[in-house]
Chains A and B, each alone.
Chain A
Amino acid sequence: MIPALFVLAYLAIVLYIGIFAFRRSSGQSEDFFLAGRSLGPWVFLLSLFGSHMTAFAILGSSGHAFNFGIVTYGLMASSSALVVPLCLLFLGTRLWSVGKRFGLITPVQIFRDRWECGHIGTLIFFLQAALLVPYIIIGVMGGGTTLSVISGGFIPFWLGGLIVALVVMSYVFFGGMRGTAWVNAFQTVLFLSFGAIAVTLISQGMGGFAAVTERLLNNPNTASLLTRENFSLTTFLGYTFNPLSAIAFPHIAIFCLTARKVTQFKRTVIFYPICLLLIWLPCVYLGVAANQATDIPAIEAKIEAKAATGRPVPGDDVLLQLLGRYAPVWVAGLLGAGIMAAVMASDSQILALSTMFTEDIFAFYGGKDKFGERAQIATGRLFVVLVTAFAYFTALNAKVAIFDLAVQYAFAGYAAMAPLFVAALCWRGSTKWGALASTLFIAASTFALYLLPRGFTIAGFAPVVPMTIISAALVWGVSSLTPKPSTVTIDRYFPPSSV
């Protein structure tokens, strides 16, 4: 129960940060949705990174490594270390630039302005929103599960989920983007510190790093986890397409617009890989090391089940189990708060959905002109409450596996949307019809994936690879054959002096 008290204290702190941010707000929509485009360099780096890292970065990565070994790091961390900063450097800075120049707040507003379209933008809104909802539900579920496990079952899942949902809803409701960014920056500091402490304590408890690795190497059942021989090179290559999703996630794209200056991207682009290293390396190593923690009954049962069936087992709790066994109670409490910080990444997603609804639907279809800016912010806040309530009640009544699956497909969908951003921001020749063709293809293929058997591949590649390539080909091919936006619009986005 003591670790749960640390987590509850942590929740109180983030709630206070949200309320404090509320006091700094000016009451204007750009201030609520984008923190007045005023975030400083370190808050921008930490909050952008924190909003990108979900529960998967800590719990899921160690669980994946428990089943598949060290390949997890190369699959997800080092590939992101190359692709995500490149997206931020070449696309994020352009998003910031056009957002600032033309007063735009969401990606759909940029698409509408760039391609001179209305309803096609609405279609892109619905696709982005539909792909985002499963992430929010998973976040609420993760919060309930973490609080329940950390309290030893004293706090039931429904209450844990409710507490987390209410805290997130409150600081997003009051603090808007400023509250969310400050909380995310605080959370990132917490879970960056978490990795080093956790790996040191747990490895000491297991007899030291070298002894753990030697035991893993000497055991025929675990030696392959320290190589990647059980994983195909084609699958490994295909995973490098997943990080393209980063720039198409609405909460990341919108975050790109919050920087005070474009030069603040420099620090983010350079330090992003280092932040990834600090979180993922300890979590992946500990996930693999858990295969030697046979003195923990829950982990021993998982190891036996893996050996008996030859299939992966649910492993997202192995890190929590290791902490419970090897860390002192107060340290487990602090680390539990660090895990909770990662689990609560749903805050920026809820805010992004609210921003998109109020700007892309409410304001676009006349709500802002009719009812004014205050009504627009009130609508955004109401939407935050509705989305959180929907996510909570869905989380209570659904199986986690359903949304785990949906998130995987959503990942592929967002990665396939990356060509839309490249086309809008980097290519003068792109058209709304190319965007429409790509959007319809992504919607249809993501839905088809949901119906196809799990693990479906094309020529050995995960679906994200052909989906992204076909999406890019459609934008290019259809744009080449259809009329371009007016020269005035194209020149606004690509001034003659720009490269």
Chain B
Amino acid sequence: MKLALIVITIAAFYVLHQDWWNWSAARPLAFRFLPVGLWYHAIYTIAAALLMAALVRWCWPSGSERDE
């Protein structure tokens, strides 16, 4: 169950990276200068950091710390 949830979440992130819905648009601009195709991926990058924090919290490879 846990493995399935991890795989689905990562797959969803992968799909969100292919943002075809923003493909031909420059607007809306963030802060009046960042085109949507850029700020979407900037937010995506921050979301990836949050995903990593969640994976580190809940999916840390078990047993790895016994080698320390």
Contact = CB atoms under 8 A, between A and B. Distances in A.
Do A and B come from the same complex? yes
Contacts of A209: 31-33
The 9 closest A-B CB pairs, nearest first, are: A209-B33, A226-B26, A210-B32, A213-B33, A226-B35, A78-B41, A273-B49, A81-B48, A273-B48
B15 to A, nearest CB: 10
Interface residues of A, number: 52
A237 B23 CA distance: 13
With a 10 A CB-CB cut-off, give which of B18, B48, B60 has the most chain A CB atoms. B48
Interface in B15-31: 17-20, 22-26, 29, 31
A342 B25 CA distance: 32
A269 B52 contact: yes
A197 to B, nearest CB: 18
Interface on chain A toward B: helix, strand, loop, or mixed SS? helix
A367 to B, nearest CB: 28
15 contacts: A74-B41, A79-B17, A93-B61, A100-B68, A101-B67, A209-B32, A210-B32, A210-B33, A228-B24, A233-B20, A240-B17, A273-B46, A281-B38, A285-B34, A498-B62
Interface string B30-68: 011111011001101110110111011001111111011
A240 B10 CA distance: 13
A213 B30 CA distance: 11
Interface on chain B toward A: helix, strand, loop, or mixed SS? helix
Contact of B29 (A213, A266, A274, A495): A213
Contacts of B23: 227-229, 233
Contact of B38 (A70, A217, A266): A70
Contacts of A277: 42, 45-46
A223 B27 CA distance: 11
Interface in A99-133: 100-101
Interface of B: 10, 13-14, 17-20, 22-26, 29, 31-35, 37-38, 41-42, 44-46, 48-49, 51-53, 55-56, 59-65, 67-68
A270 B33 contact: no
Interface string A65-77: 0000011011001
Contacts of B45: 77-78, 81, 273-274, 276-277
